[in-house]
Chains A and B, each alone.
Chain A
Amino acid sequence: DAGITQSPRHKVTETGTPVTLRCHQTENHRYMYWYRQDPGHGLRLIHYSYGVKDTDKGEVSDGYSVSRSKTEDFLLTLESATSSQTSVYFCAIRPQGSDTQYFGPGTRLTVL
């Protein structure tokens, strides 16, 4: 158990509304990641963070923003949700000195 929680676990929203997903970790890991999982695509990196206020884009960052004001929280925001952002979102951490990522339980987001 990597001490990662995600909230909410399920959300249904409408096109055009803002949505924020939260990832919380309890072990002060420096590196945190947001992925989305879609059929036929596996997991794709959206954004990642290598410290408080230090973030960078991943493979599919368009339409998403992130913030990390505290070590333990990494927020993913969809400024104006679209149906193409319907997906399962996973947060992950990577302990410093390790090459392995550990994942949270996921958030299922449906945009109608």
Chain B
Amino acid sequence: DQQVKQNSPSLSVQEGRISILNCDYTNSMFDYFLWYKKYPAEGPTFLISISSIKDKNEDGRFTVFLNKSAKHLSLHIVPSQPGDSAVYFCAASWNTGNQFYFGTGTSLTVIP
């Protein structure tokens, strides 16, 4: 059973607008969450992370929000740029961090 879920396989956004990518998890033991960005024929690239002791982490245009009670996290990209078009994976881990669980990915298209 998928412990980390991304229910939207795809998302299209106009350049300059906000992109919001969502992720839900089921395991309350998860204490560290990450977002990765993946271009075709390349490996995933780390984007941003958040510890369960926080509810928000920001890095430039990227902000991750964590709602532990809802077991939900989201990635906001503002403003969206065409170069942001990629597949985004959320991931979660707990304890030693040796097992990371990934969602199925959301393909973001930013339209110029």
Which residues does A use to contact B, with CB under 8 Å?
4, 31, 33, 35, 40-45, 48, 50, 56, 58-59, 90, 94, 99-106
Q: Which residue of the partner chain, among B32, B49, B51, B102, contacts A43 with CB atoms under 8 Å? A: B102
Contacts beyond the supplied A35-B102, A40-B104: 17 A-B pairs with Cβ under 8 Å: A42-B89, A43-B44, A43-B89, A43-B91, A48-B98, A56-B98, A59-B99, A59-B101, A99-B49, A99-B51, A99-B93, A100-B34, A101-B34, A103-B36, A103-B43, A106-B41, A106-B42
Main secondary structure of the interface of A (DSSP, over half): strand
In the complex where A99-B32, A100-B34, A100-B49 touch, is A94 in contact with B97 (Cβ < 8 A)?
yes
Q: Which residue of the partner chain, among A41, A56, A58, A103, contacts B44 with CB atoms under 8 Å? A: A103
Taken together as a complex, chains A and B put the C-alpha atoms of A101 and B35 apart, in Å, by: 11
A-B contacts, CB under 8 A, total: 54
Q: Which residue of the partner chain, among A50, A102, A104, A106, contacts B46 with CB atoms under 8 Å? A: A102
Q: Which of B36, B43, B98, B105 has the most CB of A within 10 A?
A: B43
Taken together as a complex, chains A and B put the C-alpha atoms of A99 and B24 apart, in Å, by: 20
Taken together as a complex, chains A and B put the C-alpha atoms of A38 and B101 apart, in Å, by: 14
**Closest chain B residue to A35, Cβ basis:** B102
**Residues of B in contact, count (CB < 8 Å):** 25
Q: Which residue of the partner chain, among A31, A56, A105, contacts B42 with CB atoms under 8 Å? A: A105
Q: Which residues of A are found within 8 Å of B91, using beta-carbon distances?
A: 43
Q: Which residues of B are found within 8 Å of A102, using beta-carbon distances?
A: 46
Q: Which residues of B are found within 8 Å of A94, using beta-carbon distances?
A: 97
Taken together as a complex, chains A and B put the C-alpha atoms of A42 and B102 apart, in Å, by: 6
List residues 1-59 of chain B with CB under 8 A from any CB of chain A.
Answer: 4, 6, 32, 34, 36, 41-46, 49, 51
